[in-house]
Chains A and B, each alone.
Chain A
């Protein structure tokens, strides 16, 4: 249906044309997002935190360094370990990348700018993000390498443990918003009021700060970023499940890792920081299709900044500390958060 507010800009497309465009946008967005996060945080921010300049030669301020790295990866020989299980080995990075791309389909960046505004939004997003564990286990097993297998095992144990607090932390937001739909959650925050004042809506970070706290820790662990990087710990198991991967297969893992970081930062922005809504606009104002992506990008970069700040600051956990944190602290805390949120929802 043509939105009258958009006037002549609106174009009627067939279902397959629309789908093709959406697939193209998501396929282009994942590498772009990964490159932006990789350059801004992994190369530049880490360098500044360690009192060095980082890459400076490729392009102004080394901005093309990762593009150069990517081109280098693509030229490398495609090596399979002699005893590897070829099919599984080749499929593993693709499974991980597809899981990342599926999350992008669901994250809204404007009233009409969303891959697919499904009813079960946040639930489906967390469900598809959990597929990546299968890819990591496939990589760890099929490489025929002890370090790989240990890395795969560690990854699986960690991702299973932190999947629970991740989902449970979101439940508080869902109870407050009364919907799983990500657009609905943005609308609930936009129409919310802080003690009767609706100037900036009511981002759920104010009421669900416990949930936000648990969500961000669980995201850090899901992304296997330091201090939760045991699955790829270079100093212990060389590189974990990635150890046998070279060339573009390694590049795929890299893109998936940073692409997922961007996607989870996007989810955090939608769930806790008000999403694409800009104060002062009507929730369905067409201007938000222009401003929304910009606002979302700023919020995503802010959340990513924290993720990478922790990554470059803290030393690695021990495996038993990691499991104890998930099962003995985060899960009981998130359950308590759900109970309190539920009670307050009924009372008010």
Chain B
């Protein structure tokens, strides 16, 4: 379409339009003084991730992101937070001492560096195909053939976690 902008102008613009609120919400999530607000900023980030998946043509993963993370995990977090400690306004207890903050920031920077390195190392110079829509059939075929063993192992792991949670919760 345009030589200067590259092939995916609209997608490139959309990427930044989605990414900027995501980064802002992610920063607010760790700095806010209210636990419920933190969870709500997390929703913004996760919805943004889902939107980025749609830009990449991975529709099924985007839908799963919404159903699992927004619809279930954040709801459970909110549920737990509201049942236990959901003060309105600023919560003085949500304030870690400086050493913890520095340690947290350090871990975040190291994680960012490692992941950036791994991704750049693996995909440097790879260009996304113009037509990159990923049909659901391709996803399911690869899950149930190539990646069958990891998939089943994950299922068993989740089942074990489920049973473990019930055992821990029921002491009678």
Q: Which residues of A line the B interface, CB within 8 A? A: 83-85, 88, 118-120, 123-124, 126-128, 130-131, 133-134, 137-138, 140-142, 144, 149, 152-153, 156-157, 159-160, 163, 167, 180
Contacts and interface: CB of A to CB of B under 8 A. Distances in A.
18 contacts: A84-B88, A88-B36, A119-B136, A123-B60, A124-B59, A127-B66, A128-B66, A134-B74, A134-B75, A137-B78, A137-B79, A141-B78, A142-B88, A149-B86, A153-B82, A153-B83, A160-B75, A180-B136
Interface string B77-100: 011001100101100000000000
A157 B135 CA distance: 34
A152 B66 contact: no
Contact of A130 (B37, B60, B67): B67
A156 B63 contact: no
B25 interface: no
B71 interface: yes
A281 B46 CA distance: 43
Contact of A85 (B43, B82, B88): B88
B165 to A, nearest CB: 14
Contacts of B43: 134
Contacts of B82: 137, 140-141, 149, 152-153
Q: Is the interface of A mostly helix, strand, loop or mixed?
A: helix
CB-based closest 10 A-B pairs? A130-B71, A127-B67, A127-B66, A124-B63, A127-B63, A119-B136, A137-B78, A120-B63, A156-B79, A133-B75
Contacts of A85: 36, 88-89
Given A130-B67, A137-B79, A153-B82, 16 more contacts: A85-B88, A118-B59, A119-B135, A120-B63, A123-B60, A123-B67, A124-B63, A124-B66, A128-B66, A130-B75, A133-B75, A134-B40, A134-B74, A137-B78, A140-B82, A160-B76
B72 interface: yes
B70 interface: yes
Given A119-B60, A124-B63, A134 B78 contact: yes
A160 B88 CA distance: 24
A133 B71 contact: yes
Interface string B17-42: 00000000000000000001100100
Nearest to A142: B88
Contact of A138 (B40, B71, B72, B79): B40
A142 B86 CA distance: 10
Nearest to B10: A15
Contacts of A152: 82
